[in-house]
Amino acid sequence: MDSVDTLVTARWVVPVEPAGSVLEDHAVAVRGGRVVAVLPAHVARARYEAAEIIERPDHVLLPGLVNAHTHAAMVLLRGRAENLPLGRWLRSTVWPLERRWVDPEYVRDGTALAIAEMLRAGITCFADMHLWPDVVAQTVAASHMRASIGLVVTESATRWAATADEYIDRGMHLRDEYKGDPLIGMHFAPHAPYSTSDATLTRIRRLADELDLPVAMHLHETAYEVEQSLLAHGRRPLARLAQLGLASPQLVAIHMTQVAPEDIDTLAECGASVVHCPESNLKLGAGVCPVARLLGRGVRVALGTDGAASNNDLDLLAEARIAGLLSSGIAATPGDLVAADLLRMATLEGARTLGLGEVTGSLEPGKWADLCCIDLHAARSWPVHDPVTAVVYAASAQQVTDTWVAGRQLLAQGHLRYIDESAVLERAEAWRERLDATAGEEAAADE
C-alpha cells in the first residue's frame, strides 16, 4: 500500500474541476500538503495507508473558498459607519478613524480577527488591501493561512508611507522578503484611479509587467466616480487605465457596478478579471455588477466580501447566494447564474484572478490541499437533492466544520487549532472601547 498523510472521506466531494462534477462517497488523499488523488472512498482505503483518516459522513468536501477582495483589518470597524453612501461613509467616518487609529497593532489585531472569521467560514485564501501590508503578511504567516497581500499605493500620505513612490518601494521590499513563500503572494493594490496619478499608474504597470503581478483596484464603484473621471480626464476610469496600458490580463477590477457596453468590450478584449462584492455594493447603495453579461462575454468573475466595515461580515457563501439571487432578480429570469457557476466563482475563479489557479481553487492531483468541509445534516439544508445547490442556497458558514490549507488542518470540527480565539476577541473588544470612546469626534474633525 502507498502511504499518505491524510485521507479525508465525505458523503460528497465537489472538486470544481472538471466543471459540474459531484462525487458521492469519495475521498481526497493528501501527502506533503498536496492532493495526491480524488477517488472512491473504498478504493482509497484499499490503496493508501494513511497516518490520519478523517471521516465526514454527512458532509460535502470542497476546495477552500477564495475571498478575492477584502480589507481584513476593517473588521474592527464592523457596524461603526452605517446607512451612508460610499463618499460620506469614507469621508465622515472611515478615513478619519483610520488616520487616527490605524497602526501596526490595529492591523495585526484586526487581521487576526478576520482570519479567524474566514477560516470558520471555509475561506482558505484571501486577497487583502490595507496599510501595513508587512503586518498583514506576518499575521497570515502565523495563522498558516494563504493570502495575496495587496501592496497598497495612493498619493495620500499616511503613517505607512508619505508618497506614492515610497508606497511602491516599501511594497517591493516586502515582495522580495516573501518571494517564493508557498502561502503568501503579492499583488499591486492602487486604491482607485481617482486616488492615483497617471505617473504612478504608469510605474505600477511597468513593475507589474516585469514581475508578472496582478494589479487590483476599486474601479467603476459608483456613478460619481465615473462622472468625475469624465470631468477630470475626459474618459471613463477603465478607458483611462486602458490608455495607460493597464487594461490587461493582470488587471483585477473590483466592484464594476457602473458598466457601459464599451466597458464590457474592453474587459473582454483585454482579458481582465472582475471581483463582484454584492453585499457591500448593496449596503452602500453603489449599484450592482452585471455578472451574467460579463460571463457571457468570457470575462472572469470572482467573489469578494469587501471589508466588514461595509458588509458587515466575511462570509463568502452568503456572497455567492446573494450574487445568484441578484442575477435572477435583475434579469427577471432564473438560471443566468446557477449554483455551480457561483461555487466556481467562489473557488477556482477567485484563485485564477489572484494568479493562483495553478496551485489552488480546485481538488486536482498536484495542487495544494486547500479544503473546506460543510456539514449538510442540519434542519436548514437537509434533505440534500443536489449538494452544490445546498451549499450555495441552503447552508450557512456556521456549518463549516473543517478547513485545511496546504494539508494542515486549521479548523478541526469547529475548533481553531492555531489561533487563540479568546485572545483575538479580547483584543478586538479593547479596540471597540478605544473607538467608541471617540465616537463622533471623527465626523466633527472632518467638517
Q: Amino acid letter at 241?
A: L
Cell numbers linked to 168: 511602491
Residue 173 CA to residue 178 CA, distance in Å, equals 9
What digits encode the pLDDT tens for the residues 164-173? 999 999 999 9
Domains of the chain and CATH, by start? 2-63+370-416 (2.30.40.10), 65-353 (3.20.20.140)
CB neighbours of residue 402 within 10 Å: 24
Helix ranges, 76-163 (H): 86-88, 95-101, 104-120, 133-143
pLDDT at residue 254 in the model: 98
- Specify whether the CB–CB gap between 100 and 160 falls below 8 A: no
Among 16, 12, 13, CA closest to 347:
16
| pLDDT for position 428 | 98
Burial annotation 7-24 (CB, 10 A radius, 16+ → b, else e): bbbbbbbbbbbeeeeebe
Q: How many CB atoms lie within 10 A of CB 1?
A: 9
* 130, three cell numbers: 490595507
Neighbours of 114 (CB within 10 A): 32
* Closest by Cα among 37, 120, 123 to 405: 123
Q: For residue 101, how many other CB atoms are within 10 A of its CB?
A: 16
One pLDDT digit (tens) per residue for the chain, 447 residues: 899 999 999 999 999 999 999 999 999 999 999 999 999 999 999 999 999 999 999 999 999 999 999 999 999 999 887 777 777 877 777 778 888 888 999 999 999 999 999 999 999 999 999 999 999 999 999 999 999 999 999 999 999 999 999 999 999 999 999 999 999 999 999 999 999 999 999 999 999 999 999 999 999 999 999 999 999 999 999 999 999 999 999 999 999 999 999 999 999 999 999 999 999 999 999 999 999 999 999 999 999 999 998 889 999 999 999 999 999 888 767 778 999 999 999 999 999 999 999 999 999 999 999 999 999 999 999 999 999 999 999 999 999 999 999 999 999 999 999 999 999 999 999 999 998 887 666 555 444
Q: What does the pLDDT read at residue 332?
A: 62
Query: Helix, strand, or coil here: 245?
Result: coil
User: pLDDT tens across 5-55, in order?
Assistant: 999 999 999 999 999 999 999 999 999 999 999 999 999 999 999 999 999
How far is the CA of 339 from the CAs of 70, 177, 325, 333, in angstroms? 23, 39, 10, 15
What is residue 447's predicted lDDT score, i.e. its pLDDT? 47
